[in-house]
Amino acid sequence: MGTTMRINTIIAAGALALTAAVMPASAETYKLAITDVEGLERLQTEWGAFKAAMEAATGDTFEFYPVSNRTAAAESLRAKRVDFVVTGPAEYVVINKLTNATTVVGLSRPDYFCAWVVMADSAVVRPADLKGTEVAMDDIGSTSGHLCPSQLLADYGVDPLNDLKGVVHTTRAVAHEALKRGDVAAIGVNYMSWVNGIRGKDDSVPPGSFRVIARSGDLPNDLMVAGSHGDPAAVDAIRAALVGDKAAIVEAIVSVGGENDKYRGMDIVAIEDKAYDPVRAMYITIGHPEFSDFVGE
């Protein structure tokens, strides 16, 4: 072999080694589902930037897998048709029970808590005063609009299943108007969503027309979970990559606006299953101690 050929061979080998060093050692392709976001078009519009940021951070490829509801997400995880799911706290508790899915990272939401709200001139001044009254909450199964308000009542000695005259489950806007009319004594809401949404847009009465009689602590994070069929080492690597490149991940989520505005000011954090024990307590409070079905679906 001539000198020139040997030099070219060494250069080529060096280039291959450098390429191997900068390219992911074992890039994988994963299926990703987002609960409460139906259809591929919405997934691409609302979460496409997040997917791209994850791919940049991990070196892996993520393909959207649309699911029609929470049950479909759980079934897809159990059947190994999907590898990762972004979901909420109440959904995670059931998904974990049905599929043994594990936590990857938490998507923290600033000021994510529930509250009980009454009119400022109401005779109701504490949760105990709601016994025997009719109240309104969000959709059945909502973490912040149903489970949390129910637990908050229980924390103050009010059994949400037996001590109330009735519970109306409806949209936040309808509940808000019902409270103003006096049709219900109080509304249990995701407080910041109510303040920034329907209350903030209601110019018929001043904000001071309402009064909070109880608020919860901050709720556990939304999160991304991994199917039990996944390689634990690969999941650990993805977790480390997402936390390590959190600034880009956060910007990708909030940049699209719309429903994702709730994440403004968020953080990406490692999180453990035990963080969701308070949500399990909420399920017990509303009479579903098995955690085996999605309430309201």
Per-residue confidence (pLDDT) for residue 19, from 0 to 100: 38
Pairing type for strands 166-169 and 134-137 reads parallel
Residue 218 phi, psi dihedral angles, 5° rounding: -65, 140
Which residue numbers in the chain have pLDDT < 50? 1-24
Question: What sign results for the dihedral spanned by CA atoms 260, 119, 123, 135?
Answer: negative
Distance CA 67, CA 297 (A): 14
For the 27-110+220-285 domain, the top CATH level (class) is alpha beta
pLDDT 10s digits, 239-288: 999 999 999 999 999 999 998 999 999 999 999 999 999 999 999 999 99
What are the start and end residues of each CATH 3.40.190.10 domain in the chain?
Answer: 27-110+220-285, 114-215
Q: CATH for 114-215?
A: 3.40.190.10
Per-residue confidence (pLDDT) for residue 36, from 0 to 100: 87
Per-residue confidence (pLDDT) for residue 9, from 0 to 100: 38
The residue length of the chain stands at 297
Question: What sign results for the dihedral spanned by CA atoms 202, 203, 209, 212?
Answer: positive
Distance CA 53, CA 45 (A): 14
Tell if the pTM clears 0.75, that is, is over it.
yes
Per-residue confidence (pLDDT) for residue 207, from 0 to 100: 94
Distance CA 118, CA 28 (A): 52
pLDDT 10s digits, 164-185: 999 999 999 999 999 999 999 9
